[in-house]
């Protein structure tokens, strides 16, 4: 079988950074670009050189790394933009030219002929200065197709190396996407790229249809971040090409997808929804008894791909929908062996707790299992005293007295708030040094100012992740108790 190699153009550092509230430092951009190059991305749009002096410094720093990937900057069809790109030592430019009548007349206030002249002059200027040019037609999906084609062909005659169709407001459908690219492919003899937005949730589907219609390159962002509803999701598109489009391939190391997804999420602070395909925390999680049973017997029954393919691990979630097969598997993971009677009792107790609307954590599972098996654990860390000082003009400060393996320890810490200060005071104990708090969630169980607070956290130590909870009328006490409970769990494991 002949495979068509699809090139991947990553715009996380430009279009992705335009996500509201996201602003990456030079170090963060370089770290992401380095990982993008490592996993096999073909083209990296490092930013928009015209934006600022700091942006140009970031782009130039990436361009000087000697990456295998081609490094580009966004540019308008203006010599001032292109000069800034040249200053950054990039390999090429993503030259963006509006082609819809709406943009030409209402935004630029020029004619179609003037637009073509503007585009061609910019291409000439880039090529005269040794730049690779990918000409992107902004709002191409709302442009007159014949005019759009004339813009592309004219730019190609002036030396444009690649062209890109931008579905700027995400109005394509899979059918119309295929038709557009199929029509353009009839007359255009340079590589054609698809740049889709997700306003109607169709960015990935439209991109795949574009590939079937003749595109040989697609633009995407890690985790699908970007303005409004975001861009084509890199991970969803790459995995779909690998698994679903049997005669297409990319140069991406698919096993590294989860790692770069987490890197971008941490750097940008953009939360990944739990049910997001491929990289969401629930993408390979199973609670249903029927599903868990099937997965244990043959993972293909309820998984279209193995989690290991994208650098993930399968997990069985504790809850009222789980069956005994999934529960037994989870108990084995935490080192507990049970008979059928004990297994059924633990399962019943979990369902009873979940029916009350409670989240069933690892700590709950251990407590329930210990009660059924009559096991008692001696906690190595105990909280003896906790004192908080906080006020309008006072830096929140906490002092704690902890017993760790029968040794009494006194510590203090400061933080952005009283909970942060309390956790920082506790963390100074050696047992906490390599423990990372990766999730923190608070619920008020009852109403009123004296409500019981349920704090659920996730802690990580190496490759081991545990959840823990603390329930108290005081959020600070509940948080510290949950934290210490989780660390005791990690120490036992």
**Is residue 287 within 8 Å of residue 317, measured between CB atoms?**
yes
**Model confidence band, residue 359 (pLDDT cutoffs 50, 70, 90):** low
Query: Measured between alpha carbons, how far is 66 from 328 in angstroms, rounded to an integer?
Result: 51
Say which residue the tokens 């996201």 belong to: 22
pTM reported for the whole predicted model: 0.73
Residue 249 CB-half CA count within 13 A: 9
**Is residue 70 within 8 Å of residue 94, measured between CB atoms?**
no
**Is residue 112 within 8 Å of residue 83, measured between CB atoms?**
no
Position 190 pLDDT exceeds 70: yes
**Is residue 403 within 8 Å of residue 411, measured between CB atoms?**
no
Query: Measured between alpha carbons, how far is 20 from 139 in angstroms, rounded to an integer?
Result: 21
Residue of 439 and 249 predicted with greater confidence = 249
Residue of 153 and 296 predicted with greater confidence = 153
pLDDT digits (tens, 9 = 90+) for 219-256: 999 999 999 999 999 999 999 999 999 899 999 999 99
pLDDT on residue 234: 98
Highest mean pLDDT of the ranges 122-131, 325-334, 441-450, 456-465: 122-131
| Sign (positive or negative) of CA dihedral 250, 47, 189, 66 | negative
Position 1 pLDDT exceeds 60: no
Query: Measured between alpha carbons, how far is 332 from 277 in angstroms, rounded to an integer?
Result: 28
Query: Measured between alpha carbons, how far is 486 from 50 in angstroms, rounded to an integer?
Result: 48
Residue 393 burial (CB < 10 Å; 0-12/13-18/19+)? exposed
**Is residue 417 within 8 Å of residue 390, measured between CB atoms?**
yes
Q: What would the mean pLDDT of 338-364 be, rounded to a whole number?
A: 78
List, in order of start, the domains of the chain with CATH numbers: 4-268 (3.20.20.70), 285-373 (no CATH), 381-492 (3.30.160.270)
**Is residue 423 within 8 Å of residue 432, measured between CB atoms?**
no
pLDDT on residue 330: 76
Torsions phi, psi for 201 (to 5 deg): 70, 20
Between 53-57, 71-75, 357-361, 457-461, the lowest mean confidence (pLDDT) is in 357-361
pLDDT on residue 173: 98
- Around Cβ 77, how many Cβ atoms within 10 Å? 24
**Is residue 248 within 8 Å of residue 3, measured between CB atoms?**
yes
Residue 119 CB-half CA count within 13 A: 33
Q: For residue 290, give the nearest of 331, 328, 322 by alpha carbon.
A: 322
**Model confidence band, residue 31 (pLDDT cutoffs 50, 70, 90):** very high
Q: What would the mean pLDDT of 9-23 be, rounded to a whole number?
A: 95
SS (H, E, C) the chain: CCCEEEEEEECCCCCHHHCCCCCCCHHHHHHHHHHHHHCCCCEEEEEECCCCHHHHHHHHHHHCCCCCCEEEEEECCCHHHHHHHHHCCCCEEEEEEECCHHHHHHHHCCCHHHHHHHHHHHHHHHHHCCCEEEEEEECHHHCCHHHHHHHHHHHHHCCCCEEEEEECCCCCCHHHHHHHHHHHHCCCCCCEEEEEECCCCCHHHHHHHHHHCCCCEEEEEHHHCCCCCCECEHHHHHHHHHHCCCCEEECCCHHHHHHHHHHHHHHHCCCCCCCCCCCCCCCCEECCHHHHHHHHHCHHHCCCCCHHHHCCCCEECCCCCCCHHHHHHHHHHCCCCCCHHHHHHHHHHHHHHHHCCCCCCHHHHHHHHHHHHCCCCCCCEEEEEEEEEEECCEEEEEEEEEEECCEEEEEEEECCCHHHHHHHHHHCCHHHCCCEEEEEEEEECCCCCCCCEEEEEEEEECCEEEEEEEEECCHHHHHHHHHHHHHHHHHHC
**Is residue 359 within 8 Å of residue 351, measured between CB atoms?**
no
**Model confidence band, residue 289 (pLDDT cutoffs 50, 70, 90):** very low
Beta carbons within 8 Å of 291's beta carbon, 6+ residues apart: 301, 302
pLDDT digits (tens, 9 = 90+) for 73-110: 999 999 999 999 999 999 999 999 999 999 999 999 99
């Amino acid at each position: 079988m002949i495979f068509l190699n699809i090139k991947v153009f990553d715009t996380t550092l430009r279009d992705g950074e335009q996500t509201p509230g996201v602003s990456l430092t030079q170090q963060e951009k370089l770290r992401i670009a380095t990982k993008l190059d490592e996993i096999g991305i073909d083209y990296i749009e490092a930013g928009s050189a015209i934006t600022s002096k700091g942006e140009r410094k970031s782009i130039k720093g990436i361009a000087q790394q000697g990456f295998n990937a081609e490094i580009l900057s966004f540019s308008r069809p203006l010599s001032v933009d292109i000069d800034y790109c040249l200053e950054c030592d990039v390999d090429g430019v993503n030259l963006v030219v509006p082609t819809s009548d709406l943009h030409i007349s209402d935004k630029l206030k020029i004619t179609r002929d003037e637009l073509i002249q503007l585009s061609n002059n910019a291409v000439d200027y880039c090529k005269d200065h040794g730049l690779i040019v990918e000409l992107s037609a902004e709002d191409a999906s709302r442009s007159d197709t014949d005019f759009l084609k004339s813009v592309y062909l004219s730019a190609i005659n002036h030396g444009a190396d690649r062209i890109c169709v931008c579905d700027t407001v995400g109005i394509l459908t899979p059918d119309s996407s295929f038709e557009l690219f199929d029509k353009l492919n009839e007359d255009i003899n340079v590589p054609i790229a698809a740049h889709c937005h997700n306003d109607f949730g169709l960015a990935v589907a439209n991109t795949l249809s574009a590939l079937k219609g003749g595109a040989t390159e697609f633009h995407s962002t890690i985790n699908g971040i970007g303005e409004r509803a975001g861009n084509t999701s890199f991970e969803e598109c790459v995995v779909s090409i690998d698994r679903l489009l049997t005669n297409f391939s990319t140069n991406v190391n698919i096993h590294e997808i989860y790692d770069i997804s987490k890197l971008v999420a941490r750097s940008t602070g953009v939360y990944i929804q739990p049910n997001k395909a491929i990289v969401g925390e629930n993408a390979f999680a199973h609670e249903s008894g029927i599903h868990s049973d099937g997965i244990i017997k043959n993972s293909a029954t309820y998984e279209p791909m193995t989690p290991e393919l994208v650098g993930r691990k399968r997990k069985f979630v504790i809850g009222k929908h789980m069956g005994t097969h999934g529960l037994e598997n989870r108990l084995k993971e935490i080192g507990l062996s049970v008979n059928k009677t004990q297994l059924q009792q633990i399962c019943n107790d979990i369902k009873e707790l979940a029916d009350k609307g409670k989240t069933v954590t690892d700590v709950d599972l251990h407590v329930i299992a210990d009660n059924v098996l009559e096991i008692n654990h001696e906690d190595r860390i105990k909280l003896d005293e906790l004192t908080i000082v906080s006020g309008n003009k006072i830096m929140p400060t906490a002092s704690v007295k902890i017993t760790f393996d029968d040794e009494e320890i006194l510590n203090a810490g400061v933080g952005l708030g009283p909970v942060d200060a309390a956790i920082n005071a506790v963390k100074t104990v050696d047992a906490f040094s390599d423990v990372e708090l990766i999730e923190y969630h608070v619920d008020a169980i009852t109403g009123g100012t004296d409500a019981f607070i349920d704090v659920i956290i996730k802690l990580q130590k190496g490759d081991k992740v545990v959840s823990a909870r603390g329930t108290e009328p005081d959020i600070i006490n509940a948080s510290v108790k949950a934290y210490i409970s989780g660390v005791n769990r990690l120490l036992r494991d």
